[in-house]
Structure 1
Amino acid sequence: MNHQNTAGERGNALLAELNTLDNVSLDHIDLNSCRLHSLPESLKHFTGARVLSVYDNDLTDLPEWFWEFQQLRVLNLSANRLSRLSEGLERLHLLEMLDLGHN
């Protein structure tokens, strides 16, 4: 198993473990360089986050539940393989910074 896959698996495992705890709230989520091909579904339990960074992964699209992150102020989706975003982006009314570079 290579280091890149291991990093992604650790990120997924951590989110899954946090999801089992009661009343966990994350303000800043950093899943940079985890070689994710899709966002872990366990992430949808932390929609109160204000900062989400998934820089340098292999994301090609975002799941529909992603647009429930309506508290986001900062969203870094740079250095992935995204070619478009859904109309759900309009739901992120509090967003102050969006980085889509190098997609």
Structure 2
Amino acid sequence: MRRAVAARVRGVRTAYRDRYGRRVRELASVLDGDDDEVTVSPWRLRLPRTVVVAAARSRGLEPVGGVAALAQRGPWLEPMRFARVQSHVSRPDGVR
């Protein structure tokens, strides 16, 4: 009895991973490009905006206009815009 339940649970987990895995791989291909600014339409990918923001931040992208700019728009209406964070290397004092 337990084996049948475990097999069903594994089947659901695999189906879930396959379904959303394709969408996440497509999102990764968009975010991993060489562009400094990226526009993502979450409704085309059929992914929640929170997933898109988390994936973008993990790749060094931040929302253009900050997180508040994302919150002002409707959940599926406007595309999300991200820009690469430019890391400024600070030099020690006295070095010119």
Same-fold status (TM-score > 0.5): no
Q: How high is the TM-score relative to the length of structure 2? A: 0.37
Q: How high is the TM-score relative to the length of structure 1? A: 0.35
Higher relative contact order (CA 8 A, sep 6+): 2
User: In terms of Rg, which structure is larger?
Assistant: 2
